[in-house]
Structure 1
Amino acid sequence: MTLNRIVILIVFFLVGSCGGDGDVESPPNLPINSLPGVYVGVFPCEGCPGIPTTLWLRSDGRFFFEQEYPAVEEREAMSAHNLGRWNWVVDERTLTLQGSGPARRFARQDADTLMMRTDSDLEHRLGRDASAPDFSATIRMVGMARMRGGNAWFTECLTGLEAPVKKDGDFARFRHQYRSAGGQGRAVVVELEGHFSWSPGGAPGSLTIDRFVTVKAEGGC
């Protein structure tokens, strides 16, 4: 990992951990079941034109979060992703995203607008986009994998999402390392880069392993 990439990731997590913009209040009467959807916007960025940001807020309590950092001077463009579970904190009227790294917190300005709580004077606003596609990016994940009869299943640790593993991409390398680790039908911890496909109802249809990283014979989520 390059120094520039490390610096960007540190900034990414620090922004997400900022505490609370007390000026942003969520209306009290918006139903929680109207929260799920896809929200998009451009977050402010010092020294760059802005960071395109998308939040997929699923009705099953899971989320995906994507930020596209533009190329600036000697820094290459890059994408940063997070995934996990979301929760609406009733007493604080705050949406909380809990994934890897610090939690992110949003106020709900209206039925279609989320404002991330930060210490910045600049707005970090996301608006609902009903035309946005499903989340399809390749991301790094840790989860439990098991094989039986030549077929494999993967359960992602942060979200609990489970999907059958397609037999293309880097599946052959996964299968070899799984068997070498003595999996033999039991679940083992794996780390991989992959992407989900989705069924019409929104459930995971399958997982494609784009790059298999490692398998651990011991441990769990």
Structure 2
Amino acid sequence: MFKKLDAGLLLALVFFWSGAVKATEAVPVPLAQLPATFKGNLPCANCEGIQTNITLQADGSFFSRQIYTGQPSPNQANDLGRWVMSHHGNVLVMQGQNSQIRYFRVKSAEAIEMLDLEARTIFSDLNYQLMRTASVDSLDLKLFPLNGLYQYLADAALFTECASGLAFPVVPTGDNIKLEQAYLQRREQPAQALLATLYAHIKPAPSMEGNRLVPSVHPLRFESIAQADCSPRLYSANLKDQFWTLVQLSGKLVVLPENGRPPGLMFHAENNRLSGSGGCNQLVGTYSVEGNSIQTNMIAATRMACLQAGNVDDELIMTLTQVKSWNILGQRMELYDQLGRLLVRFEAR
């Protein structure tokens, strides 16, 4: 039975609000023998097809090459970034250089299928599948812009690419001298990491010891360097002890406040306690989870008068009574009804 409490009483309850917690739960990966390269010819709206190679690495990084056949040069797009698996449904979540997230369903250990931008099946007679190849592609890509943290110390430089988190030695060729000089002028202490933007070729080069080849950054054109850090990269968020910001409710985007607490929920691990807000009043309740099934029970809320825009307290409470299942795709959580229809979408921020 839903009831309302005075604000003072509710504030006496333990109530956690926090930012993104980047610890991850172990999500099974339905892909054997990584690394693996998947290849195919994806449909294209304004070209003959997109020849696509995606290589998944066991460390959670990926790189890809796409050639837009029938288009004039330059008609190739390369990418480098990270991948994670959804908590349920075998959906591969990928985020690379341009920050746009791509989704593929793992059909088997031998095949992945491209999904739409909402991670839904594309119903079409066209072929959206990529098949595993017998051999694995090597990391050999030209990328622009290539953003990463550049460090220089003792006549050696290291470049940690932002989207993938991979660290590469820097080869002293091309525009390397401009990169090095700009870094030495900007750094405030030895080995400080600065955010650099390059046009670069990542390909194998002899290691410092000279006895093996390692993927390395070859600077082709220096663009900029600054006292800044990389944007947060893709990770697989936990359901529990993570504040989930409400971004979509009943098919409508949620207006987030410029200041103050945003609407959202937290599923506490302790005592299966649920807390949150619809933008004005604070909500508490309980929840239960078994596999991909979830049930929520909102039992109390404050009863302040809520006149500000973006308040969805009542609608959120009513919608949560219809929730039957859940999934997490990277930093996005979705709640569904008994027919699998999307009811609510949250983001870990």
Q: TM-score, normalised by structure 1?
A: 0.75
Q: How far apart in 2 are the matches of 1:169 and 1:183?
A: 25
Pick one of 126, 129, 134 that aligns with 2:138: 134
* Structure 2 residue runs without a partner (length 5+): 1-27, 117-121, 206-212, 231-349
Which structure carries more helix by proportion? 1
Q: Are 1:111 and 2:117 an aligned pair?
A: no
Partner SS state of residue 131, structure 1: coil
Q: Are 1:214 and 2:219 an aligned pair?
A: no
RMSD: 2.5
Kindly state the Cα deviation for residue 165 of structure 1 after the two structures are TM-superposed. 0.8
Q: 1:50 to 1:32 in 2, by over 3 A?
A: closer
Q: 1:87 to 1:48 in 2, by over 3 A?
A: same
Q: 1:170 to 1:197 in 2, by over 3 A?
A: same
Q: How far apart in 2 are the matches of 1:92 and 1:110?
A: 12
Partner of 1:190: 196
Render the CA deviation track for 1:65-122: whole Å, top value 9, x for unaligned.
22112344xx544211222111112412111112233211111222211110134512
Partner SS state of residue 107, structure 1: strand
Partner SS state of residue 44, structure 2: coil
Is the contact made by 2:29 and 2:85 (CA closer than 8 Å) also made in structure 1?
no
Render the CA deviation track for 1:102-153: whole Å, top value 9, x for unaligned.
2111112222111101345122111111235312121121111111122211
Q: How many percent of aligned residue pairs carry the same amino acid?
A: 29
Q: How far apart in 1 are the matches of 2:34 and 2:215?
A: 23
Is the contact made by 1:32 and 1:88 (CA closer than 8 Å) also made in structure 2?
no
The one-letter amino acid of 1:207's match is V
Partner of 1:22: none
Q: TM-score, normalised by structure 2?
A: 0.49
Pick one of 132, 148, 152 that aligns with 2:157: 152
Is the contact made by 1:94 and 1:106 (CA closer than 8 Å) also made in structure 2?
yes
The one-letter amino acid of 1:206's match is S
Is the contact made by 1:192 and 1:211 (CA closer than 8 Å) also made in structure 2?
yes
Higher mean C-alpha deviation, range 143-152 or range 124-133: 124-133
Partner of 2:342: none
Is the contact made by 1:35 and 1:111 (CA closer than 8 Å) also made in structure 2?
no
Pick one of 89, 92, 97 that aligns with 2:94: 97
The one-letter amino acid of 2:216's match is S
Q: How far apart in 2 are the matches of 1:97 and 1:86?
A: 4
Post-superposition, which runs of at least 4 consecutive aligned residues in structure 1 deviate over 4 A?
none
Higher mean C-alpha deviation, range 142-151 or range 97-106: 97-106
Q: How far apart in 2 are the matches of 1:170 and 1:36?
A: 32
Is the contact made by 2:41 and 2:49 (CA closer than 8 Å) also made in structure 1?
yes
Partner SS state of residue 138, structure 1: strand
Residue correspondences, number: 188
Kindly state the Cα deviation for residue 59 of structure 1 after the two structures are TM-superposed. 0.9
Larger Rg belongs to: 2
The one-letter amino acid of 1:117's match is L
Kindly state the Cα deviation for residue 35 of structure 1 after the two structures are TM-superposed. 5.5
The one-letter amino acid of 1:131's match is S
The one-letter amino acid of 1:136's match is D
Q: How far apart in 2 are the matches of 1:208 and 1:183?
A: 25
Is the contact made by 2:174 and 2:221 (CA closer than 8 Å) also made in structure 1?
yes
Partner SS state of residue 63, structure 2: strand
The one-letter amino acid of 2:194's match is V
